[in-house]
Amino acid sequence: MLFSTVVDNANVVIYCTQVPRTAYQTIIFLYCTTEATRRACVSILHTIRFCINFAHRARIMGKGSQYAWYVCMVIATTMILYGYDSSTFNAVQGSKNWVAYFHKPSPATVGSINTAYSVGGILAGVFLSAPISDRWGRKWAIIVGCVFVIISTFISTFSPRNIGVFIAGRAIVGIGQGIALPAGLTYISELAPAESRGKIMSFWQMNFSVGSFLAYWINFACSKHSKTLGDWDWKIVQLFQLLAPILIIAVLIFCPESPRWLAKNDRMEDAFKSLSKVRDDREAVRIEMSDITRAMQYEKENISSGYSALWKDPSVRKRLLLAIVLNIGQQLTGQGSLNNYSTKIYQAVFTDNSTIQLINALNGTFGIIFTLNATWTVDRFGRRFLFLVGAVGMAACMITAAAVVTETHGDLTTGKSQSVGIATVFLMFLFAFFFKPSWGATVWIWTGEIFSMNVRNQAIAISSQAQNVANVVLQQVFPIFLAKKGFYAMYMFGAINVLLFVYVWFFIAETKNVSIEEIDVIFGGHNHVDGELSKGQVSQPENAGVPADNAEPQKMNTLAAEKQV
């Protein structure tokens, strides 16, 4: 009976990928008995359809487009560093051997370990990433960051029984990621074509989930043999952190540099060659190079560059503040605390460490699937839609999870009942379902595409490091808050998500399908390609979502007409 059911369901999945949407939704309605399972099945099938369609398109796209995807996927693996590291410490702090090795660190000390990472990331992201990236190029900034991660891995793994050395290792890995991540995000945003930029950049967040997936499953395997491995049950998890940076360095060194960085440094011939490698149509390359050249010329003549320009230009200042709040909001959704403290959170419901590590591993696995939803939604429905839907879903999950745990019988020291545990895990997974494609992937996408070339490195570095600023506060407060109040902390995250919905509704503009050179006009700035156009004029104003300051309502065709000449 069980076998026949599995076969029948498999046939449904295969059939659903080959029939119109209304037909497979009808089949799901017949096979799924609850609304929640129906919605989950529809989402999974959309993802399957996207993967099938993408594989088909990959066969027919030109060599330039294929190479662009390849290079962008290599760059996106930089995010594995972040995902693996953030999940590594969350996993190893559940190891009794790690706790004993460092003499049972207090909750405040545990918070300090994460704070060291965040402080290192903030300092490097704000003061080192942009200068290195502007001076030597995007890919070399990523390589430098990877070298720091390699050094920190050896320090953390082979540190003596002194928590201070372990904290130093965490600070160094923060420096490495603070240099690499802003450069990687800038690199992808400058290389990806406008029409598929959101889809390509969604893989940036997906690689965070890949890193978490690897960390949690490696830790789960080690935790099953913790008695045999001893201290190596957490040291092995640390050592595997070497794989990603070594692979990135080995492959990235042969990839082309950003054509926009080359053009900015007056290497026009190299920029044309670099762009030609990642585009199919030579005429499209000529037009895009023309846009880049005119944008560079406009910025050199009319706009200053560097950190001072972030505050002089009202349009840039507005974007920077919006992006900072958005990145802080990403961590305040509750996902930042779940990344670092899900082991501690689940200890309020489960008593078996092996069960907790299995849940973390499954969460990392489903995180990859959930993030894939962004690849087919972000360019179809837009950035604002995902932000709004994600905020509502996350708020509902957090408030419901808090109510389930705090309003049911059971002692938190001995664990709750099995039904409460299952409900809690389901709600945390559902939270990830809403977070990953929205506030997970789309915050990075939106941050990476809204700044002009003259300030892109500096603005992305500051905006993305706002996540670490939020983490510094959370990592000092949340462990103590969780120890004293337990799941009541989730009510706070639910309320924050409601506020984030309001923030996006009133302040965040839509940016899909707008080229990077023309993005300024959405925020009330000048068109950097056609500097003679007034503020607010763009070839696709209908995509703005929120009107720009002094925006003209009519569609401007000047740029398109000039390109056809």
Average pLDDT, the chain: 78
In a domain, 352, yes or no: yes
In a domain, 277, yes or no: no
In a domain, 290, yes or no: no
Q: Name the range with the highest mean pLDDT among 61-75, 163-177, 398-412, 413-427.
A: 163-177
CA triplet 36, 90, 477: central angle to 5 degrees? 95
Helix, strand or coil, per DSSP, at residue 335: helix
- pLDDT of 515 above 50: yes
Structural domains counted in the chain: 2
Q: 411: which strand partners?
A: 415
Residues 314, 392: Cα–Cα separation, whole Å:
31
- Say yes or no: 96 and 39 in one domain: no
CB 197 within 8 A of CB 449: yes
Residues 286, 276: Cα–Cα separation, whole Å:
9
Place of tokens 């065709």: 557
The pLDDT of residue 319 is 93
Q: What is the pLDDT of residues 528-563, one digit of tens each?
A: 666 544 444 444 434 434 434 443 333 333 333 343
When pLDDT is cut at 50, 70 and 90, the band that residue 246 belongs to is: very high
- Say yes or no: 319 and 396 in one domain: yes
When pLDDT is cut at 50, 70 and 90, the band that residue 420 belongs to is: confident
- Say yes or no: 47 and 143 in one domain: no
pTM score over 0.85: no
Q: 415: which strand partners?
A: 411
Choose the final residue of a domain: 60, 83, 101.
Answer: 60
The pLDDT of residue 10 is 39
- Say yes or no: 109 and 230 in one domain: yes
- Say yes or no: 34 and 72 in one domain: no
When pLDDT is cut at 50, 70 and 90, the band that residue 154 belongs to is: very high
| Cα-based distances in Å from 115 to 184, 237, 331, 334 | 23, 20, 14, 17
- Say yes or no: 312 and 357 in one domain: yes
In a domain, 354, yes or no: yes
The pLDDT of residue 39 is 58
The pLDDT of residue 179 is 94
CB 78 within 8 A of CB 208: no
- pLDDT of 173 above 60: yes
User: Which has the minimum average pLDDT: 55-69, 349-363, 400-414, 469-483?
Assistant: 55-69
The pLDDT of residue 410 is 57
CA atoms within 13 A on the CB side of 182: 35
Provide the residue type at 419 as one letter: S
Dihedral pair phi/psi, residue 411, rounded to 5°: -95, 125
**DSSP letter string, 400-431:** HHHHHHHTS-EETTTEE-HHHHHHHHHHHHHH
Q: What is the pLDDT of residues 98-139, one digit of tens each?
A: 888 888 888 778 777 877 888 888 889 888 988 999 899 999
CA triplet 95, 97, 98: central angle to 5 degrees? 70
- Per residue, the 3-state secondary structure of 187-203, as one string, reads HHHHHCCHHHHHHHHHH
- Say yes or no: 351 and 439 in one domain: yes
Residues 335, 326: Cα–Cα separation, whole Å:
14
Q: What is the pLDDT of residues 324-382, one digit of tens each?
A: 999 999 989 988 777 666 777 777 667 777 787 788 778 878 888 888 888 888 888 88
The pLDDT of residue 13 is 40
- Say yes or no: 98 and 157 in one domain: yes
Q: 416: which strand partners?
A: 410
- Say yes or no: 31 and 78 in one domain: no
How many CB atoms lie under 10 A from the CB of residue 131? 16
What is the torsional sign of CA 105, 111, 117, 119? Answer: negative
DSSP state of 146: H
Residues 194, 481: Cα–Cα separation, whole Å:
44
- Say yes or no: 176 and 231 in one domain: yes
The pLDDT of residue 561 is 38
The pLDDT of residue 471 is 79
- Say yes or no: 234 and 174 in one domain: yes
Q: Name the range with the highest mean pLDDT among 7-16, 214-223, 517-526.
A: 214-223
Q: 410: which strand partners?
A: 416
463, containing H or E segment: helix 456-485
Residues 297, 303: Cα–Cα separation, whole Å:
10
CB-based contacts of 226, cutoff 8 Å, min separation 6: 95, 96, 97, 233
The pLDDT of residue 149 is 95
Average pLDDT, stretch 145-161?
A: 92
Tell me which residue range forms the domain holding 53: 2-60
In a domain, 53, yes or no: yes
Average pLDDT, stretch 2-25?
A: 42
CATH of the domain at 433: 1.20.1250.20
- Say yes or no: 56 and 168 in one domain: no
